[in-house]
Each structure stands twice: as C-alpha cells, then as structure tokens.
Amino acid sequence: MRLLIAEDEEDMREALCYGLRKRGYAVDEAADGGEAVELCEVNEYDLLILDLNLPGMDGMEALRRIRQQERQTKVLILSARSQIEDKIEGLDRGASDYLTKPFHFGELEARVRALLRRSFLQPEAALVRGGLRLDTAAKAVTVNGRPVEFSMREFAILEYLMVNIGRPVSAEELLEHIWDSEADPFSNQVKVYISAIRRKLSAACGQALIRSIRGAGYVIDREESSC
Ligand code: CA
C-alpha cells in the first residue's frame, strides 16, 4: 500500500516515514500543502496522512483541492488542533478519519490499517483464502496453520493481490502501490518479487497460487483449493 505523508515538521515527518516504511508501506513525503496536492495529481495513493498546520497552502485547503481530483484516496487528518470545529470541518470536507497530536504511533498504525481495509471493503484484520491466511496487523502469513516467512515487500505484494482477489493486477499497478517514488518503472523488480513469493507458496502448499495473465498481470483466483 502506498501512502503520502504531508507534514512540515521534519522530525515528525521522518519518524512517521521511518515507522511506516518499517511496517512495509511505500511512503512518499510532502513538506507543504501545495506539494501534497501536486503529488496526489501524479501518483495514486491509497492513503494520505495530512497535517492541518502547513506552511503556504494549509491542510484544509489541500484537502479541498485533492477532493476535486476525484481520487479515491483515503485521508487521515493529523493535527495539534483539538477543537471539535476542525474535526467536523475536516470530516465534512471528505477526510476519512482524524487523529489529534500527540498520539501513539501504534494508534496511528491501527487507524491506517483500518482505513486501508475499508478502501478494499475488507472488514477483517486477516485476509483468508483456503488455507492461506495473512494477518495484516502482525504482517504474518500462515499456510494451513504453519507460518511462512515473507519479507515486508513480499508481504505487501501478497496483501495487495489478496485484497484484489479475483482481479488481475498489472506490474505497473503493483509498482504504483507497493513501491515509493524511488521505484524504477523499467526494472523487472515486480517479476523478481512475484517469483520469490510463488516459490515460497509452492514450497508451503504445493501451489504457486499467483497466476500470470498475459497482458493483464497477476491474479490470485477466488476459488478455494487445499491451500
Ligand atoms: Ca505542522
């Protein structure tokens, strides 16, 4: 999943980026409202974490402009302002959730997970298909009850395919949602990661589960099998 953090306080921005990248998210950063709006025009983010007190264009105005782009991006407002009026205005302008500073990183991450699940109509914390189970909070995978180790990025790819189960996902879409702006669109990184995931799944359950469809991408089929 790909996130954008719009926050002008460098320490806070760096801490959020560090924490969320460590949890396997692709994270881009913006230091003011204008930059956030521009990045949202160019990239398709799954979630925007938006500070309200930003230099230049403030967070509320940035939110208004991003909503005009008709993107489905979820917005989590982050602000030191604790006044109820700001929360109401933010939610009225299309924010999905609101968190007041100071906050605990664990709470932020739980809200991020909840919002991302909502955007894929996934009410459960675990993604399940047959014997394959992804715990999105613990970032852990089991196959028929036995743990299988995946790197953060492998997990992120598998998670993205699972929330889009039954729909082929192109390599470009995976690059857009799993990698940050450092991604090289001409590399074969996606292919390399997909083969590693397939190898691990095959070893665990005898099936690669991820099917390639020429010209369309990769898909995990809906039907249940032994794993
Ligand atoms: Ca600020």
Tens of pLDDT, residues 34-71: 999 999 999 989 999 999 999 999 999 999 999 888 77
For residues 126-135, give the mean pLDDT.
90
At residue 89, the pLDDT reads: 87
For residues 80-105, give the mean pLDDT: 86
> What is residue 171's predicted lDDT score, i.e. its pLDDT?
93
Dihedral pair phi/psi, residue 134, rounded to 5°: -110, 120
What is the structure's pLDDT at 85?
A: 83
Query: And the tokens for 211?
Result: 């099917």
CA of 180 to the centre of ligand 1 (A): 23
- Of all residues in the chain, the percent with pLDDT exceeding 70 is 95
Query: What is the CA(105)–ligand 1 centre distance, in A?
Result: 17
pLDDT range class, residue 226, cuts 50, 70, 90: low
pLDDT, mean of residues 164-168: 92
Residues surrounding ion ligand 1 at CB below 5 Å: 8, 51, 53
Q: What is the mean pLDDT of the chain?
A: 90
Q: How far is the CA of 141 from the centre of ligand 1 (A)?
A: 37
Ligand 1 center to residue 36 CA distance, Å?
A: 13
Three-state DSSP string of the chain: CEEEEECCCHHHHHHHHHHHHHCCCEEEEECCHHHHHHHHHHCCCCEEEEECCCCCCCHHHHHHHHHHCCCCCEEEEEECCCCHHHHHHHHHCCCCEEEECCCCHHHHHHHHHHHHHHHCCCCCCEEEECCEEEECCCCEEEECCEEECCCHHHHHHHHHHHHCCCCCECHHHHHHHHCCCCCCCCCCHHHHHHHHHHHHHHHHHCCCCEEEECCCEEEECCCCCCC
Checking if the pLDDT of 122 tops 70, the result is no
Distance 53 CA to ligand 1 centre (A): 4
For the question of whether the overall pTM of this predicted structure is more than 0.85, the answer is no
pLDDT at 71: 76
For 210-225, write each residue's pLDDT tens digit: 999 999 999 999 876 6
CA dist., res. 8 & res. 78, Å (int): 12
More confident residue, 216 or 80: 216
Q: How confident is the model at residue 19 (pLDDT cuts 50, 70, 90)?
A: very high
Residue 193 has pLDDT above 90, yes or no: yes
